Amino acid sequence: MRSLFLLLCALPLAAGAQTYRSDEHSFRVVKLVEGLQQPWSLAFLPDGRLLVTEKAGRLRVISQGKLDPSPVEGLPQVTVHGQGGLQDVVLHPDFSKNALVYLSYAARGDDGVGTELARGRLVGQRLENVETLFRQSPKGRAGQHFGGRIVFDRQGFVYLTLGDRGERERAQRPDDHAGSVIRLHDDGRVPKDNPFVGRAGWRPEKFTLGNRNMQGAALHPQTGVLWTHEHGPQGGDEVNVMRAGANYGWPVITYGVNYGIGTRIGEGEKKAGMQQPIHYWVPSIAPSGMAFYTGDKFPRWKGDLFVGALRDQMIVRLKLDGEKVLREERLLKGVLGRIRDVRMGPDGLLYLLTDEAHGVLARLEP
């Protein structure tokens, strides 16, 4: 870990980086790498290199602050369809022993395109022994709402977020993966204690239902519980705490309205038996990527939740008290562009990716 910290610290600094101030810290934004093509996610390798996914289906390597021109080989077949493509990249918790890399991506099947989860062993500049662990079923013809965030919990279970694929009613169907969080063993097996295992007509991989399109997910650093955020329609973006078997309401309840016409969706904002978000945004900010800050470089941010925003091109800092949001602060609006991912680095700093044709990897430093 010390070698990784030193290598990350050795990444080149941008001359004359501008200083910004939040309520509790001043910081500068340093652009580390430019020229990425619609990057979606990043992961920190133990040797100091970084892995970055590009939507078009490329897994890129950044070493010593330089983007390797040759992508990693051996990836599964990725379909670029609307919002879908190569999405998340996450290392297995025992990566130092098994070298396993997990990827989420859009893939084509007989019934359309849907999100899949695969893993492979990283050997040099290639993934070997790649295997598909999960295939969304049914897939779909629409080009939106693929979800795609991957998170491992402290017990080694892997979670995958799925969107409703642009067909809102699917999020409430027990026999449909869409609009759910999926929970699996690290090899793709279904855990026996998943909430719907053994229930007739239910997909056993499902951990939740009633989610619209979750593009942010992270474990709470104290409780180890999975948190997600999801896109609402016109308004109604949500931050939720994931509970086994819980129904998060879409499209029966929402704080958003129909695009353009502003009419109500479903039955209103609340309904018995359906979860309320701990925080929501009206109007929408289009959230993507999130991370809890757990480092020491910004001590007064410790425990805060940072959320990227595509629509408003910013990051949002949420000050928390348990599962209650005390206040919200909006930072870097319009400075970098559309923020696709937010990651906590092993060096105690926050890393950002921008969703642009010439995307940027940036770092927030004191």
Owner of token pair 């009206």: 282
The DSSP secondary structure of 119-179, one letter per residue, reads EEEEETTEEEEEEEEEE-SS--S-SS-----EEE-TTS-EEEE---TT-GGGGG-TT--TT
Bridge partner list, 26: 21
**Cα–Cα dist 101/242, whole Å:** 24
Q: Could you tell me which residues come within 8 angstroms of residue 34 by beta carbon, excluding any fewer than 6 positions away?
A: 358, 359, 360, 361
The residue type found at 322 is G
Residue 165 gets the label, from left (phi > 0), alpha (psi -120 to 50) or beta, of left
Q: Could you tell me which residues come within 8 angstroms of residue 158 by beta carbon, excluding any fewer than 6 positions away?
A: 102, 117, 133, 150, 151, 152, 183, 184, 185, 186
3-state DSSP call for residue 5?
helix
Among the listed residues 81, 145, 177, 229, the single catalytic one is 145
| Integer angstrom CA distances of residue 255 from 163, 208, 229, 235 | 17, 19, 14, 6
3-state DSSP call for residue 26?
strand
| SS3 of 40-61 | EEEEECCCCCEEEEECCCEEEE
Token pair in block for residue 161: 């977020």
Q: Could you tell me which residues come within 8 angstroms of residue 353 by beta carbon, excluding any fewer than 6 positions away?
A: 36, 39, 40, 41, 42, 52, 289, 339, 340, 341, 343, 359, 360, 361, 362
231 in catalytic set:
no
Owner of token pair 């309205």: 257
Kindly list the catalytic residues.
Answer: 145
